[in-house]
Copies of this chain bind each other. A is one copy, B any other.
Amino acid sequence: MTQKRKIFNDPVYGFVTVPYGLLLQLIDHPYFQRLRRIRQVGLSHFVYPGALHTRFHHALGALHLMQEAIEVLRFKGADITEEEAEAACVAILLHDIGHGPYSHALEHTLIDLHHEDLSLLFMQELNQQMEGKLELAIRIFSDQYPKQFLHQLVSGQLDMDRMDYLNRDSFFTGVSEGVIGYDRIIKMLAVHDGELVVEEKGIYSIEKFLLARRLMYWQVYLHKTCVAAEQMLIHVLKRATQLARSGVALECPRDLSWFLHGGAAHVDDVSVVLQHFARLDDSDIAAALKAWVYSDDFLLSYLSSALLDRRLFRLEWLTMPATEAYQKEICEKLSPHFSPDVDISSLVFGGKESNRPYDEAKDQIKILFKNGNVLPIEKCSDVPLFTQLVTKYYLCYPKLF
């Protein structure tokens, strides 16, 4: 009997191939199609105009890498049944389905749930709709399955999520230095005592991968202009929430409005929250910003139009939190540019960002030597592995002087 597969074009890998059946049903589901409207790296396109790729494409890419990883591991003798292979594919396909619009910025602003918890809720909901077909995928996703390496492929130091996003983000931003040897790393993966390990020959590639990750953090994800834009977005939504909850009428798409008015907090039935959440995407934020330009509220209108027209705030990195004196100095310099009734301090945001490329306390990368020994990479690499948490403070304000 002739089987069928659907082929998706992907500038990163050429093609992603998906067999007809459960995986394609999930892709066709409105929950998943919604990811077409949620960008992978939020506001980074303000700095890297090509970075418009979506979580939809990322999920397909991660699925592609999972298929490759399974093929490699099976060839090396790992025992992976057809059911397990499909479940691991389902788990990686849906690993990010709980992401909302601009979730790096808006998590905890719109809803007090982490995106991984939301992903799990979505999977459980889909599992019900599909009569239990996602049971095994859910067990793998939530690390409840004995063959631990399957979970590690979905969520771990070297999971297919990271492999794809580093690769994809560097492709679409054009930051060629973020390129990783994903295909080489995957070819070096193996299973040892039920855990994912990397063959000795892959050490240099792993070191390179960790440096690339660090570089992408500071050059893309935490680029000062991107952080500034995110802070502006967070503050515009906080202000909208404040106004909404104090009864001010706001032009706003209906599901976003429901969240701004505190819907998620007032409703106990998580499935109701999920229905609203499943209708949110980047276009709601864009529509809201475009409407709020006309608001009477100065802060709401000022930030909205600044975001729309890309008049982004300046962000200064500092080695420690900005002193009150320095904040006051900034406010004084800004003051002549605004009418006297504006509260300048509401336009000056302080905060911090941190990054640790390799947190060996959480989950170790293990190297398998030819003689059968297994060692964590920090014990066998002759370079430092960025295990330290790097924290930077910032102050962010209108670029008017």
Chain A residues engaging chain B, CB cutoff 8 angstroms: 1-3, 5, 7-12, 14-15, 17, 28, 30, 33, 36-37, 45, 47-50, 52-54, 56-57, 60, 75-77, 171-177, 179-181, 183-184, 187, 204-205, 207-208, 211-212, 214-215, 218-219, 251, 253-254, 279, 281, 283-284, 286-287, 290-291, 294, 308-310, 382-384, 386, 390
Q: Are B49 and A8 in contact (CB under 8 A)?
A: yes
**A138: min CB distance to chain B, Å:** 24
Closest-CB distance, A210 to chain B (whole angstroms): 10
**Nearest Cβ distance between residue A305 and chain B, in whole angstroms?**
9
Interchain residue pairs A-B with the least CB separation, the first 3: A283-B286, A287-B287, A11-B174
CA–CA, A48 and B15, complex, Å: 10
Cα distance, A50 to B208, chains bound together (Å) = 22
* Contact A52:B53 (CB < 8 A) given known A9-B175, A187-B15: yes
**A191 to B: closest C-beta gap in Å:** 11
- Please state if B254 and A291 are interface contacts (CB–CB under 8 Å): yes
Whether the Cβ atoms of B77 and A49 lie closer than 8 Å is: no
Q: How many Å lie between the Cα of A52 and that of B55 in the bound state?
A: 12
Roughly how many angstroms separate A56 CA and B48 CA in the complex, as a whole number?
12
Closest partner residue, chain B, to A205 (CB atom): B177
Residue of B nearest to A14 (CB): B183
When distances are taken between beta carbons in the complex, the residues of chain B under 8 Å from A17 are: 187
Contact B175 A310 (CB under 8 A): no
The complex places the Cα of A57 from the Cα of B49 at a distance, in Å, of 6
In the bound complex, residues from chain B placing their C-beta under 8 Å from that of A208 are: 177, 211-212, 215
Interchain Cβ contacts under 8 Å between A and B, 11 examples:
A8-B49, A9-B49, A11-B173, A11-B174, A12-B174, A28-B310, A33-B309, A49-B56, A204-B218, A284-B290, A286-B287
Q: Which B residues are in CB contact (< 8 Å) with A294? A: 254
Quote the shortest CB–CB distance from A216 to chain B (angstroms). 9
When distances are taken between beta carbons in the complex, the residues of chain B under 8 Å from A11 are 50, 171-174
Q: How far is the CA of A219 from the CA of B9 in the complex (A)?
A: 12
Interface centre among A57, A77, A308 (most CB of B within 10 A): A308
Partner pick for A2 among B77, B215, B310, CB 8 A cutoff:
B77
Q: Which residues does chain B contribute within 8 Å of A76, judged by CB atoms?
A: 2-3
A177 touches B184 (CB 8 A): yes
Contact B9 A50 (CB under 8 A): yes
B-side contacts of A205, CB under 8 Å: 177
Q: A49-B8, A49-B60, A207-B215 are in contact. Are A383 and B382 (CB under 8 A)?
A: no
